[in-house]
Every structure is written in structure tokens, then in C-alpha cells.
Structure 1
Amino acid sequence: MKKHWLTTNHQHYWVDKTANVLNKVQKSVQPRMKETLRDIWMAET
């Protein structure tokens, strides 16, 4: 149970961090930046 909670917490952190970053850039840049941030988050290392 605790392991599942830690994963959920980590995912929540990345959602908040991504939203904060996207709010600071122009709307025209947001789709590509969101894709790039997702690639970073999903990277194995």
C-alpha cells in the first residue's frame, strides 16, 4: 500500500511541476513543451 502511495505522490508532483512550467511560457509553445516534459518524466534515467 505504501509503495502505491509513493508512486501516486511522485506522479502528483510531476503534474504540478508541469503545470507550473507551462503557465510561464507562451501558449504557442505549450504543446511542444508539454510533450518534452512528458519525455523527461517518462525517461528511465
Structure 2
Amino acid sequence: MRPPTTPPEHVPGGEAVARLVEAGAFPFDGTHRDFAPPADWPLPPLPARP
């Protein structure tokens, strides 16, 4: 098992995304809360177990 990694102090673009989230801007405004994929969408395959 690998040890956990420490996240970087600064993620490029992270502050811009945080401002969008805090402002409730699309797509963080809740407009897609009722989204459901079409019934005929197939499930993606699962990765192989290690």
C-alpha cells in the first residue's frame, strides 16, 4: 500500500474555481441537480482488480 501523498500548497487555477463555487456560478449553481442520464446509456466497464 502506498503512503498518502501531501497535496501541493497551491493548485494552479484553484483560486479561480473557488471563486466560482463561492459565487454559486454555473455549474455550481445547482441547475443540474435533477440530471439523470438516458436509460440506454451503458455502464462503463470496471477496471481490473489488482
- TM-score, normalised to structure 1, is 0.31
- The structure whose residues are more often helix, as a share, is 1
